[in-house]
Amino acid sequence: MLVVMKAQATAEQIQAVCDHIETLGYRAHPMPGAQRTAIGITGNQGEVDRGNIEELPGVAEVIRVSKPYKLASRDVKEEDTVIRFPGTDATIGGRNLAIVAGPCSIESREQAFAIAEQVAVAGAQFFRGGAYKPRTSPYAFQGLGVDALKIMAEIRDRFGLRIITEAIDNETLELVAEWADVVQIGARNMQNFSLLKHAGRLRMPVLLKRGLSATLDEFLMAAEYIMSEGNYEVILCERGVRTFADHTRNTLDLSIVPAVQRLSHLPILVDPSHGTGKRDKVLPMARAAVAVGADGILVEVHNQPEKALSDGPQSIYPDQFALMMDEIEQIAPIVHRKLPRGIHIETAEAESHVAKTK
């Protein structure tokens, strides 16, 4: 159920409707839009008892949402969600492309700093790096844990890059939330409902990767789990699915981008690294991802991929990343997008981290 407020409804009227919904035993999710605020109602088992919601001051109409996902749906919020990073000009969603780059895993301070410097110079705004790795083998490198989180916090201080890193369970979620700017939930955890609910209780952006065999509905329902707990800052990420094709590690399903964008207001990034598993296929698929209308790219970059402790074969070299940036910059305007170069931090001295890295 969705309560659509009148365009001129006051903040007090919106609050009064939310309070009323909560007294009925449901949960109210106010979603401010450009034209008007809509209030999603969740927590109901069956049909919501409309009571006298329609009669409350400021209410335009009460409508049923037929989709299984509600808060993630465009029915509830028509315009695209744009996630902002306070104190910076970085965004995910909206006109500017968001570029997330960095190694699969943080392996050492030297490795992480060397890569961070190069992706910052090439103009990335976000740095990725695994501190906790969900590896297929228990004997494979599992990540440096908190030490890696601290290294990434230093990278944020030094280069201004906002940090995205994965939490693999409820325990690591708390630590990642403390140190990072965006919490990543990996493909293997897309239907870890306990983890999704815990991530929904955070008040920071969550990047949700598509499960290895998840349908579009399952993907959006996973996002809905997070949003149903009150965290509306969800970023989707297509990273390839399992198919019979064996020329790539996964099959990058780019057609999910327009499919998601039709149904949902949430931003969607594309990960051509896990999506192909092969370095030589990353750049062409990154170009295609921008052309298809993705809100950005998440890509693995390594300065010595042949020595990488995880995902070396799919990690591109820093100079290939710089080339990727140049090429997608040219494609962006064709799809009404812009590639921002570097992140600007609002400090007292109006210091620019772009300048610092040059």
**List of residues contacting Mn ion (CB under 5 A):** 104, 311
Residue among 303 and 357 whose Cβ is closer to ligand PEP: 303
CA 147 to chain centre: 23
- Rounded Cα gap, residues 198 and 202, in angstroms: 7
Question: Counting every residue, how long is the chain?
Answer: 358
Residue at shortest CB range from ligand PEP: 186
Beta bridge partners of 62: 3
Contacted entry of ligand PEP, Mn ion, none for residue 186, CB cut-off 5 to 8 Å set by kind: ligand PEP
Residues 108-137 that bind ligand PEP (CB under 6 A): 130, 134
Least distance (Å) between residue 188 CB and ligand PEP:
6
User: Would you count residue 187 as binding ligand PEP (CB under 6 A)?
Assistant: yes
Q: Rank residues 104 and 167 by Cβ distance to ligand PEP and give the closer one.
A: 104
Query: Smallest gap, in angstroms, from Cβ of residue 130 to ligand PEP?
Result: 5
The verdict on 269 binding ligand PEP (CB under 6 A) reads no
Is residue 345 within 8 A of residue 145, CB to CB? The reply is: no
CB of 311 to ligand PEP, least distance (A): 6
Of positions 29, 156, 239, 249, contacts ligand PEP by CB under 6 A? 239
Name the minimum Å distance from CB 66 to ligand PEP: 31
Total Cβ atoms within 10 A of residue 48: 20
The token pair at 103 is 């190694």
249 binds ligand PEP (CB under 6 A): no
Between 147 and 186, how does the x/- string for binding to ligand PEP read (CB under 6 A)?
A: ---------------------------------------x
Report the partner that residue 341 touches, choosing among Mn ion, ligand PEP, none (CB closer than 5 to 8 A by kind): none
Report the residue number, 104 or 289, with the smaller CB distance to Mn ion.
104
| Closer Cβ to ligand PEP, 40 or 127, answer by number | 127
The yes or no reply on residue 302 touching ligand PEP (CB under 6 A) is no
236 makes contact with ligand PEP (CB under 6 A): no
Q: Does 275 bind ligand PEP (CB under 6 A)?
A: no
Residue number, 67 or 188, with CB nearest to ligand PEP: 188
Q: Write down the least CB distance from residue 306 to ligand PEP, Å.
A: 18
**SS3 letters across the chain:** CEEEECCCCCHHHHHHHHHHHHHCCCEEEEEECCCCEEEEEECCCCCCCCCCHHHCCCEEEEECCCCCCCCCECCCCCCCCCEECCCECCEECCCECEEEEECCECCCHHHHHHHHHHHHHCCCCEEECECCCCCCCCCCCCCCCHHHHHHHHHHHHHHCCEEEEECCCHHHHHHHHHHCCEEEECHHHCCCHHHHHHHHCCCCCEEEECCCCCCHHHHHHHHHHHHHCCCCCEEEEECCECCCCCCCCCECCCCHHHHHHHHECCCEEECHHHHHCCHHHHHHHHHHHHHHCCCEEEEEECCCHHHCCCCHHHCECHHHHHHHHHHHHHHHHHHCCECCCCCEECCCCCCEHHHHHC
* Residue 135 interacts with which of ligand PEP, Mn ion, none, CB < 5 to 8 Å by class: none
Kindly state the smallest distance separating residue 104's Cβ from ligand PEP, in Å: 5
Tokens 């298809």 — which residue?
292
Based on the shown chain and the rule CB under 6 A, indicate whether residue 279 belongs to the binding site for ligand PEP. Answer: no
Which one of ligand PEP, Mn ion, none is in contact with 187 (Cβ closer than 5 to 8 A by kind)? Answer: ligand PEP
77 scored as a contact of ligand PEP (CB under 6 A): no
Per partner kind, with CB cut-offs from 5 to 8 A, the member of ligand PEP, Mn ion, none near residue 209 is ligand PEP
Smallest gap from Cβ 176 to ligand PEP, in A, equals 13
Torsion of CA 187, 193, 196, 200, to 10 degrees: 160
Residues that bind ligand PEP (CB under 6 A): 104, 130, 134, 186-188, 209, 239, 274
